[in-house]
């Protein structure tokens, strides 16, 4: 006598390797990338009435958490009061959504083009620890400068340069000149 037995279908396992290990694609042509950035900048001005920037969104996220921990301090400092004083929510601003979009877009693009990985880019003359230390120091200076200037380089150079602000153009030339001058002293770290 023969009996028929039904076998249960096993659920398919998720192929995590296919999701996270993707083939690396070539970088976009820089002229095409610049053209697309110009379109995004135009759309930002057209839709929101504001340009692009990054430090304002991150600043508002920090002020949001600061308001959760020390609301009395936020209510006493006039700079913070404008963003989150009283019943105001620091996250209720267009720049927060732009910053979130940049993070999500960068993550998605990195995944899509097979470049999403944890790595430390450095030259052979510097250790990982030194690279991270100097990246932190440089980032701290940039963050302090962005708050001191009430804006970041992307907002100043892109948005200010797009509306032909003389100060923004002078700033861009100073940044590029300073970068080239400093590169002479740190080039050995990358070669």
- Boundary (domain end) residue, out of 117, 138, 157: 117
pLDDT at 164 over 60: yes
pLDDT at 145 over 90: no
- Boundary (domain end) residue, out of 72, 99, 117: 117
**Domain presence at residue 33:** yes
Do 97 and 142 sit in the same domain of this protein?
no
**Domain presence at residue 51:** yes
- Looking at residues 5-18, what average pLDDT do you find? 69
**Domain presence at residue 99:** yes
Do 106 and 141 sit in the same domain of this protein?
no
Whole-angstrom Cα distance, residue 92 to residue 85? Answer: 12
Do 31 and 112 sit in the same domain of this protein?
yes
Q: Please give the residue that has the higher pLDDT: either 103 or 15.
A: 103
**Domain presence at residue 15:** no
The model carries a pTM of 0.72
Asked if 54 and 99 count as a contact pair (C-beta separation under 8 A), the reply is yes
pLDDT 10s digits, 48-74: 888 888 788 888 999 999 999 999 999
Do 92 and 151 sit in the same domain of this protein?
no
SS3 53: coil
Lowest-confidence segment of 9-23, 28-42, 154-168 by average pLDDT: 9-23
Give the per-residue pLDDT at 7: 63
Q: How many domains, in total, are found in the chain?
A: 2
Three-class HEC string of 98-154: HHHHHHHHHHHHHHHCCCCCCCCCCCCCCCHHHHHHHHHHHHHHHHHHHHHCCCCHH
Asked if 86 and 75 count as a contact pair (C-beta separation under 8 A), the reply is yes
State which residues form the domain around 32. 27-117
Residue found by looking up tokens 């105001």 in the block: 88
Give the per-residue pLDDT at 73: 92
pLDDT at 86 over 90: no
pLDDT at 188 over 90: no
pLDDT at 36 over 90: yes
CA 16 to chain centre: 26
Q: CA-CA distances (angstroms) from residue 103 to 57, 89, 99, 143, 165? A: 11, 21, 6, 17, 27
Do 175 and 124 sit in the same domain of this protein?
yes
CA 102 to chain centre: 6
């Amino acid at each position: 006598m023969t009996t028929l037995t039904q076998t249960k279908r096993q659920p398919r396992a998720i192929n995590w390797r296919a999701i996270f290990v993707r083939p690396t694609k070539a970088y976009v042509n820089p002229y095409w990338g610049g053209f697309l950035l110009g379109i995004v900048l135009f759309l930002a001005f057209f839709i929101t009435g504001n340009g692009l920037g990054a430090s304002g969104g991150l600043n508002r996220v920090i002020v949001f958490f600061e308001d959760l921990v020390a609301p009395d301090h936020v209510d006493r400092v006039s700079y913070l009061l404008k963003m989150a004083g009283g019943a105001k929510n620091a996250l209720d601003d267009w720049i927060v959504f732009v910053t979130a979009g940049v993070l999500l877009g960068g993550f998605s693009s990195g995944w899509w083009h097979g470049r999403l990985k944890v790595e430390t880019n450095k030259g052979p003359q510097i250790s990982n620890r030194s690279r991270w230390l100097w990246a932190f120091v440089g980032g701290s200076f940039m963050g302090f400068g962005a708050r001191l200037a009430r804006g970041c380089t992307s907002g100043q150079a892109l948005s200010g340069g797009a509306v032909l602000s003389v100060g923004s153009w002078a700033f861009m030339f100073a940044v590029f000149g300073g970068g080239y001058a400093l590169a002479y002293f740190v080039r050995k770290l990358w070669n």
